[in-house]
Amino acid sequence: MKTYSSIIFFSLLSFASCQKNHTENICDGIKNPNGKFIFKEILSDTAFEADTIFRDNYVQFQALDIYESVNWKLGADPRNWNKPDFSLSFVDALGTIPINFAGKKKPNIQCFPQDSGIYTSSQKLTVVEQVEKPYLTISPLVGRYKGYFTNDPTDTFITRIDYFDSLKYEIAVTGSKNFYWISNIPKGFISTLGWSYPELKNGQPIEMGYKCFQFGTGSSTIQGRGWLTSDTLNISYGNNIVGRKKFIGKKF
């Protein structure tokens, strides 16, 4: 009988230990919302994460956690936005705009005893001008980049992103007298459009963001989407028909 009682005692201890461990582990891997959000600059069908944008492009605002309700305040604008993900144009604005976000959900006091259920954060969005002078801000993408497609890193070449500004350019040809242009992507590219200006023959126009861009059309095999990270140019080149590959180049 004594042995039987010992077995029951140790079984109860083991059960209590399991219960304790279960309670201690119930919050493992659970993260509380922190109110964080990101901006994305929208170019046609692609959005690039950014903190500075050209004002003629739309901006996507995106909360990074799930909430029961949200509220955004954009600078001095009296309006409120109540969706976790929405897009907006700042075509009439220039400068730095404070963005304040608040998300609410039922607090998880079991795992986070100080949880209030309200999660806030703030960031600043800078809006600059792409074309109109004298407010013009030139994209830091402008420059020369030596790099390669990652499927053949030994075959290096130079790609250029230029900003052209001259009265000589006819709007009927280039669309504007000041514009951005990408050249020599892929290596040795020559336009079939027969541009009237020699400096344009190895490239094509690009849709610009402040630190991002895209070129080509959905039906073109010569197309890509690019972005700048520090001094590194990244281009996702090609499409599903001809295949995709990545260019990486360092500014010099």
Dihedral sign computed on CA atoms, order 28, 34, 40, 46: positive
Q: CA 219, CA 243: separation in Å to the nearest integer? A: 13
CB 90, CB 55: distance < 8 Å? yes
Here the tokens at position 67 are 């909430």
The backbone torsions φ and ψ at residue 171, rounded to the nearest 5 degrees and listed phi first, read: -60, -35
Q: Are residues 180 and 114 in the same domain?
A: no
CB 103, CB 119: distance < 8 Å? yes
Burial class from Cβ neighbours inside 10 Å (0-12, 13-18, 19+) for residue 28 reads: exposed
CB 154, CB 242: distance < 8 Å? no
CB 118, CB 104: distance < 8 Å? yes
Average pLDDT over residues 62-71: 98
| CA proximity to 225, closest of 167, 177, 185, 190 | 185
Question: pLDDT band at 7, cuts 50/70/90?
Answer: very low
Q: Which residue has the tokens 């995709």?
A: 244
**Residue 79: inside a domain:** yes
User: pLDDT at residue 16 above 60?
Assistant: no
- What proportion of the chain, given as a percentage, has pLDDT over 70? 90
Domain boundary, last residue among 104, 128, 152: 128
Question: pLDDT band at 24, cuts 50/70/90?
Answer: low
User: pLDDT at residue 100 above 50?
Assistant: yes
If one compares 247 and 22, the residue with the highest pLDDT of the two is 247
User: pLDDT at residue 33 above 70?
Assistant: yes
| CA proximity to 159, closest of 198, 186, 191, 193 | 186
Predicted TM-score (pTM) of this structure: 0.85
Average pLDDT over residues 13-31: 64
**Residue 23: inside a domain:** no
**Residue 157: inside a domain:** yes
Which range of residues forms the domain containing residue 110?
37-128
Q: CA 45, CA 145: separation in Å to the nearest integer? A: 25
Region of poorest pLDDT, from 15-29, 161-175, 176-190, 210-224: 15-29
Strand ranges of the sheet holding 118-128, from the earlier edge strand across to the other edge: 52-54, 118-128, 95-104, 69-74
CB 178, CB 163: distance < 8 Å? yes
Bridge partners (DSSP) listed for residue 59: 41, 88
* Strand 143-149 versus strand 157-165 pairing type: antiparallel
Q: CA 163, CA 105: separation in Å to the nearest integer? A: 47
Q: What is the mean pLDDT of the chain?
A: 91
Average pLDDT over residues 132-148: 96
Here the tokens at position 178 are 């000041």
Domain total of the chain: 2
Q: Are residues 119 and 160 in the same domain?
A: no
| CA proximity to 226, closest of 213, 243, 239 | 213
- What proportion of the chain, given as a percentage, has pLDDT over 90? 81
Task: Residue 192: give its domain's CATH number.
Answer: 2.40.128
How distant, in Å, are the alpha carbons of 3, 45, 134, 215, 223 from that of 41?
A: 73, 11, 23, 15, 19
pLDDT in tens, 74-94: 999 999 999 999 999 999 999
pLDDT in tens, 149-203: 999 999 999 999 999 999 999 999 999 999 999 999 999 999 988 899 999 999 9
Region of poorest pLDDT, from 107-111, 151-155, 239-243: 239-243
Task: Residue 123: give its domain's CATH number.
Answer: 2.60.40.10
pLDDT for 241: 79
User: pLDDT at residue 252 above 60?
Assistant: yes
Q: Are residues 149 and 232 in the same domain?
A: yes
* Strand 118-128 versus strand 52-54 pairing type: parallel
**Residue 121: inside a domain:** yes
**Residue 215: inside a domain:** yes
